[in-house]
Amino acid sequence: MLAAVATTLGEGSAVKYEIVAEAYRDLEQVSSRLALIERLAKLVSQTPAALLPVVCYLGQGLIAPEFAGVDLGMAEKMARGGRRHRYGP
């Protein structure tokens, strides 16, 4: 999704997926609220303004705003099962 958005916004608006992935990895490993806020602030500062909504939705586990009605075509139980498999019960 980031690549598609970056493509439509032009080359100067791209944010590297590696930056986003590293930020989310760091967030999973930190439990301190201040450290979480600091890491999120760093991610936001590295993200072009046009891509901020996409990065924020991804951080919430969404790919689009809920009111957009984007359907991945997956059953909710199947999606939960995938999360459980990855992150545990």
What percentage of the chain carries pLDDT values higher than 90?
Answer: 15
pLDDT score recorded for residue 8: 43
Name the pTM for this structure.
0.58
pLDDT score recorded for residue 34: 95
Q: What's the CA angle centered on 35, arms 34 and 40, to 5 degrees?
A: 100
Asked whether the beta carbons of 57 and 47 are under 8 A apart, the reply is no
Question: Could you tell me which of 2, 18, 87, 86 has the C-alpha nearest to residue 50?
Answer: 2
d(CA 59, CA 28): 11
Please provide residue 15's backbone torsions phi and psi, each rounded to the nearest 5 degrees. Answer: -120, 135
Q: At 5, is the pLDDT very low, low, confident or very high (cuts 50, 70, 90)?
A: very low
pLDDT tens per residue across span 56-73: 888 877 777 777 777 666
Domain boundaries, the chain: 2-87
pLDDT score recorded for residue 54: 85
Asked whether the beta carbons of 37 and 45 are under 8 A apart, the reply is no
